[in-house]
Chains A and B, each alone.
Chain A
Amino acid sequence: QSALTQPASVSGSPGQSIIISCTGTSRDVGGYDYVSWYQQHPGKVPKLMIYEVNNRPSGVSNRFSGSKSGNTASLTISGLQAEDEADYYCSSFTSVSTVVFGGGTRLTVL
């Protein structure tokens, strides 16, 4: 299975909004509303931020939101804060009952 495609890096200034894309195929992202997003700070364990495309776990800021159109899912972070600087990974359920991750996106807060 091929990794989902994410931009290697994105950046934004404090207070701005950024969008991270995650592109797959009809056999994963496009075929199911089972996309998750994870945040990982350096040396830390990944943290679930969004599940099932647009659902936030308890305790995750409402500045984080998810969406999907066709084979591409997106993570939007509004009101950027310095603490948002991290790596972000998307993942999806696949048609062969596996999980596939994206390559990861490094978010830099300028």
Chain B
Amino acid sequence: QVQLQQWGAGRLKPSETLSLTCSVFGESFSGYYWSWIRQPPGKGLEWIAEINHIGNNNYNPSLKTRASMSVDTSKNQFSLKLSSMTAADTAVYYCGRGGTWPTKIDYWGQGILVTVSS
């Protein structure tokens, strides 16, 4: 059974950089894209970016200048950094398996609430 476990800082100050990591258990890392998705409180889902096992990335154009993903295949982990955080970036952040390939997100991490406040 595939499991995704994510962690990272839950509270940031404006202008700081968000750093989140997602570990993948029970599945080979290769052959898939791995995504980050976020959901502001009371709002809808927003796809942020994805990466595959050889480090190919795709980014949401609206976040591309601030987002950066990396992968560590030896640990079956992938990470997200989002710079220059503001209150508008306050959201639950999820990691997931899939994105543009496969074109479905069929396994999700537990989500982590990230709050940006001074």
Contact = CB atoms under 8 A, between A and B. Distances in A.
Contacts of B110: 45
Interface in A89-110: 89, 91, 93, 96-104
Interface residues of B, number: 25
Contacts of A104: 43-45
Given A98-B60, A99-B35, A99-B99, A3 B44 contact: yes
Interface stretch (A18-26, A46-54, A78-86): A46-54
Interface string A50-62: 0110000100000
A1 B49 CA distance: 13
Contacts of A36: 103-105
Interface string B42-56: 011111001000000
